[in-house]
Amino acid sequence: MTLPPVLTVDHVKKVYVTGDRSVEAVRDLHFEVATGELVCVVGPSGAGKTTLLRCIAGLMDVTSGEVRLEGSAISGPPRGMAVVFQEYGRSLFPWMTVRRNVELPLKEKKVPRERRAALVDEALATVGLDHVHDAYPWQLSGGMQQRVAIARAVAYEPQILLMDEPFAAVDAQTRADLEDLIRRLWSRLGVTVLFVTHDIDEAVYLGERVLVLSNSPTVVLEDVPIDLPADRDQLATRALPRFAELRAHVYGLVQQAKRGVRAVPADSGAAASHSTAHTTPHSAHRERKSL
């Protein structure tokens, strides 16, 4: 795939300043997401995943560097982006029906009424919620609520869909269903997805690429291509030896990240050695203190 990048995260740095104290959360993040890609971002807890996502979504200003959507730098949430938050129960408007929740952003985009209705119907059908248009979100189970949030994002027809640990709060069975839903949406609608998670299995199962983040202050530790067959299946795919290899590789990277490693040699290919990285104990120690 040599399509132009839809999203460019260009040497982004984020320093939180409160009073006279400053904490460097993100040091230097640099990566691109090409049109139609499904990229997972994984990292240990405290890797600044949420910070990164908020910067990309335009909810937070970056300290230096820039985020570009289709080549133009963003300041504030751009039009062509939709976000699915982890807290499904808190990101749907509880005073609106499912249908109105999905429809509201389209109204704001001034999508004509008929087109709007079609988009909402289609989106809700795609996520398997044909029958609950007039229910309120809180009448639905957690997994269904997250489906509504996904439908809202899909109906918005974004150039890129950001997902912030969307399945962290649902039970395992629902989670598997929702993972397959994302794969289906991606292959059928061709939407570009950036999927943030702390779950290594999920990242490898879903992604075409997995970006492993270091500990905070964050850099990209490694960009791991996932060469699994496009048709993924919860049982078959997870049983593949290649899946186990990739999983072990990413797992190793995350373990390194936890120890404070923030660079691996450029030539370390997928599933290759992971002991060559040099640790910087001094900086790791300092950062732990500052957080």
> Considering the rule CB under 8 A, would residue 136 count as an interface residue with other proteins?
yes
Closer CB to other proteins, 93 or 229, in the complex: 93
Span interacting with other proteins, options 27-35, 101-109, 175-183, 194-202, rule CB under 8 A? 101-109
Q: Are 67 and 121 in contact, with CB atoms under 8 Å apart?
A: no
> Considering the rule CB under 8 A, would residue 141 count as an interface residue with other proteins?
no
Q: Which residues on adjacent β-strands are paired with residue 12?
A: 29
Closer CB to other proteins, 96 or 228, in the complex: 96
| Backbone φ/ψ region at 269: left (φ over 0), alpha (ψ -120 to 50), beta | beta
Q: Among positive and negative, which fits the CA dihedral 23, 193, 244, 1?
A: negative
Strand 192-197 relative to strand 21-34, pairing: unpaired
**Among 23, 96, 117, 284, which residue sits at the site for other proteins (rule: CB under 8 A)?**
96
> Considering the rule CB under 8 A, would residue 138 count as an interface residue with other proteins?
yes
Site string for other proteins, 51-90 (x = CB under 8 A): ------xxx----------------xx-x-xxx-x-x--x
What's the min distance (Å) between Cβ of 284 and other proteins? 31
Site residues for other proteins, 161-190, by CB under 8 A, read none
Amino acid code (one letter) for 223: D
Please name the residue ranges forming H helices in 48-161.
49-56, 88-91, 98-108, 113-126, 142-155
What's the min distance (Å) between Cβ of 81 and other proteins? 7
**Among 93, 130, 239, 276, which residue sits at the site for other proteins (rule: CB under 8 A)?**
93
What's the min distance (Å) between Cβ of 253 and other proteins? 30
Q: Are 65 and 10 in contact, with CB atoms under 8 Å apart?
A: yes
Q: Measured between alpha carbons, how far is 53 from 57 in angstroms, rounded to an integer? A: 6
Site residues for other proteins, 242-281, by CB under 8 A, read none
Q: Are 161 and 154 in contact, with CB atoms under 8 Å apart?
A: yes
